[in-house]
Each structure stands twice: as structure tokens, then as C-alpha cells.
């Protein structure tokens, strides 16, 4: 700890200077880095267990829930998400302060700003819940955390796009226009990924496919009766 005489000019000098862009990029890369590491370890050392499905057909990649639910993958993922989540709470409050300054005289947008804050907090909390309660420990809690995370994430991005659409109409700052366009692109990409994941998840659970249907009707009809409950979640999409 840097110590200087009380009342000196250097007393309030910052010890570390970190550009916000670098800080934001590092925060965003933490989940991606953790996910890639977990997938790599699962494929290299726990392939059969991580790709196990309730109808015993071949899988090529593990689901995210399966990849982060085993040791040491779960600890890697928890460390990355823990470091990632703390700044996100601060950024959520910072965005709300920004919106409140921009929409001080516009009640509808001000209310939407509050709803965006609640959605952002719920999204981050849902991510923490599904991270620290793995699917092999308490599946229902993990599933509910996932639902909260996805639902609040999509709603938050939708509200954010609308708020920035209003900002773009009122201000002509080129950086804010660019920010709005990227937010819309990422929102549409996120929605597309969620729809594709839901489709393939439902198709996999309905037909037990590896490129074809289940080996027989009896296997598909009885798949939930013959498997332990904690195994159901590891079906990949």
C-alpha cells in the first residue's frame, strides 16, 4: 500500500489506471475463456460421461450444462463467472445512471430504464445461480436459474435496443449510433441462437437422433423411465 504524508498532494493519486475498454473486454472474455477451457477438458478427459444422453445415442459435443458440471470444469467455470459477475452489477447501475440522466423528463423511458436495471440484475443473478448450482447437484434449481437468465437477458436486450433507438433520434453522436447498431445486431443474433438451441434441444429429446431416429420406439417411449433424473440434463443440442 502506498503511504504518503497526510495532506500531501499525492494522497489521492490513483495507484492503478485501467482503460474502461480494456476492463470491459477482459470482463466479457472471462466466460468465453472459461467455457472453452471446460469444453476442452470435457472432450479430452471426460468425453463419454459429458456426452452421455438419456437414450444412449452418440453425441459429438457436450451440452454447456454437462461441460461445467464436472470436476475440475465446474471450478474453472465458477471462478470465471464469479470474476465476471461483480463488474456486471456495477455496469448495470452505471447504465441506469446514464439513462436517468438522458431521460430525466421522459417518464416512459425512465420507467423502462428501471425495468432494464431489474432485468440486468436478474440476468446476472440467474447466471450465478445456474453456475454455482450445477445440473448434477440440483437439476431443478439449475434449470430455473437458466430460465431466469435467458428470459431476463432477452428482455433486457430488447429494452436496451429501444432506449438506444430513442437516444439515436434525440442525439447525433456517431459513437452512440454505432453502439445502437451493434446492440441490435447482437440482440438479433442472440434471439437466433436461442431459437436454434430450443429447436435442436426439443428435437433431440423427441427423436434421440445422432443423424437418425431412436433405435426403436420402445427406447424413445421409455427413455425417462430408465435413466436417473440427474442424467437428463446432459443431452446436447
Question: Binning pLDDT at 50, 70 and 90, where does residue 179 land?
Answer: confident
Dist. CA 158–CA 117, nearest whole Å: 13
pLDDT of residue 228 exceeding 70: no
The 8-class DSSP code of residue 54 comes to T
Residues 100 and 140: beta-carbon distance below 8 Å: no
pTM for the whole structure: 0.74
pLDDT of residue 216 exceeding 70: no
Question: Per mean pLDDT, which range of 16-25, 146-155, 223-232 is the poorest?
Answer: 223-232
The terminus-to-terminus CA distance of the chain in angstroms comes to 50
192-218 average pLDDT score? 68
CA distances from 190 to 37, 64, 125, 155, 158 (A): 22, 16, 19, 11, 11
Return the closest-CA partner of residue 201 out of 232, 169, 224.
232
Amino acid at each position: 500500500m502506498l503511504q504518503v504524508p497526510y495532506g500531501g498532494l499525492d494522497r489521492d493519486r490513483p495507484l492503478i489506471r485501467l482503460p474502461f475498454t480494456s476492463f470491459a473486454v477482459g470482463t466479457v472474455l472471462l466466460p468465453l475463456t472459461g467455457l472453452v477451457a471446460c469444453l476442452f477438458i470435457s472432450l479430452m478427459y471426460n468425453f463419454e460421461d459429458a456426452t452421455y444422453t438419456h437414450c444412449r445415442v452418440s453425441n459429438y459435443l457436450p451440452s454447456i450444462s454437462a461441460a461445467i458440471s464436472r470436476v475440475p470444469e465446474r471450478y474453472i467455470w465458477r471462478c470465471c463467472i464469479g470474476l465476471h459477475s461483480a463488474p456486471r452489477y456495477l455496469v448495470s447501475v452505471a447504465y441506469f445512471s446514464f439513462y436517468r440522466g438522458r431521460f430525466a423528463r421522459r417518464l416512459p423511458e425512465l420507467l423502462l430504464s428501471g425495468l432494464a436495471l431489474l432485468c440486468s440484475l436478474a440476468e446476472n443473478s440467474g447466471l450465478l445461480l445456474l453456475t454455482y448450482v450445477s445440473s448434477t447437484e440440483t437439476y431443478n434449481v439449475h434449470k430455473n436459474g437458466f430460465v431466469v437468465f435467458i428470459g431476463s437477458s432477452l428482455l433486457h436486450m430488447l429494452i436496451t435496443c429501444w432506449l438506444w433507438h430513442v437516444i439515436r433520434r434525440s442525439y447525433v453522436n456517431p459513437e452512440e449510433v454505432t453502439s445502437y447498431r451493434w446492440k441490435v445486431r447482437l440482440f438479433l443474433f442472440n434471439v437466433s441462437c436461442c431459437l436454434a438451441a430450443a429447436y435442436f434441444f426439443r428435437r433431440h429429446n423427441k427423436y434421440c437422433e445422432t443423424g437418425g431416429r431412436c433405435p426403436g420406439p420402445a427406447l424413445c417411449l421409455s427413455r425417462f423411465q430408465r435413466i436417473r433424473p440427474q442424467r437428463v440434463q446432459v443431452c446436447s443440442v
